[in-house]
Amino acid sequence: MSDMTASDVGASAPTDTSSTGTTDKPIRITRRRLDVILTVIGALTTAVLLVAGILLAWGNNFARDYVRDELQAQNISFPDADSLSGQGRGDLAKYGSELVDTGKEAEAYASYIQGHVAGIAEGATYAELGSVERAAQAAVSDAIAEGVTGDELTALEEEAAAITTQRESIFRGEMLRGSLLNTYAWDTIGRIAGIASVVAFIAAALMLILTIAGAIHLRKTHA
């Protein structure tokens, strides 16, 4: 049996590498690096707020112009103040004889129309009068089929025509009221956008001041 030398033992012995593993070093954030990061974030935030303010201001102008053009095209005016008071709408007297060209006036005139529509058929809606109109027309058709003539047939025809006229008036009133309320909604959205744009511009100005102050501090501290 041959003898093993010390060098053979050393060569065959496993090497323990667990103790030689590398350890991740912590990332060091210096004061200068932190100041740079905060300054960059401030500049980006300022830019975002400025863009948001510009877009919101554009939205406000668009909505305002849309509302004015839409209402002026319809050329709607309130009755005079005395007429409004006489109709029990003293709450609208301040708009007497005015042209409807703002969102608030559109909302007010929509309320005025609602009062008129409610009085056409004792508060019945366009949909509710549908069955009444069909019944009146059916009564006329049945009377003709039965040979009814004279005043009785005329009365049935006049009743059916009156219901049809009421229904058409309600339809036109509800359509105009819906259009005015839609315009009022656009005006409200525009006003909200206008307020938001002012807030965005103020925030952008404050952030710009802070960013400039941070940049000056960074330059003085690490000059």
Q: What are phi and psi of 184, to 5 degrees?
A: -60, -40
Digit-coded pLDDT (tens) for 173-205: 999 999 999 999 999 999 999 999 999 999 999
Percent of the residues in the chain that have a pLDDT greater than 90, as a whole number: 55
What's the pLDDT band for 146 if we cut at 50, 70, 90? confident
Per-residue pLDDT at 9: 46
Task: Give the model's confidence band at 145: pLDDT under 50 very low, under 70 low, under 90 confident, else very high.
Answer: confident
pLDDT for 2:
47
User: Does residue 74 have a pLDDT over 70?
Assistant: yes
Does the pLDDT at position 47 exceed 50?
yes
pLDDT at 98: 92
**62: closest CA among 165, 171, 169, 190?**
190
Tokens at residue 36, please?
Answer: 């740079």
pLDDT at residue 1 is higher than 60: no
Nearest to 69, CA basis, from 29, 100, 107, 108: 100
pTM, two decimal places: 0.72
pLDDT in tens, 116-129: 898 888 888 889 88
DSSP 142-210: HHHHTT--HHHHHHHHHHHHHHHHHHHHHHHHHHHHHHHHHHHHHHHHHHHHHHHHHHHHHHHHHHHHH
* Mean pLDDT, all residues of the chain: 85
pLDDT of residue 26: 63
Tell me, what's the pLDDT at 219?
77
The predicted pLDDT at position 164 comes to 93
pLDDT at position 216 is 83
Rounded (10°) CA dihedral 97, 100, 103, 106: 90
Q: What is the pLDDT of residue 171?
A: 94
Nearest to 127 by CA among 164, 176, 167: 167
- State yes or no: pLDDT of 23 exceeds 60: no
In this prediction, residues 24-39 reach a mean pLDDT of 72
Q: Is 22 left (phi over 0), alpha (psi -120 to 50) or beta?
A: beta
Residue with tokens 């103790």: 19
What local confidence, expressed as pLDDT, does residue 79 receive? 92
Cβ atoms of 207 and 49 within 8 Å: the answer is yes
Model confidence band, residue 214 (pLDDT cutoffs 50, 70, 90): confident
Q: How confident is the model at residue 25 (pLDDT cuts 50, 70, 90)?
A: low
**Following CA atoms 13, 18, 22, 27 in sequence, which dihedral angle do they give, to the nearest 10 degrees?**
180
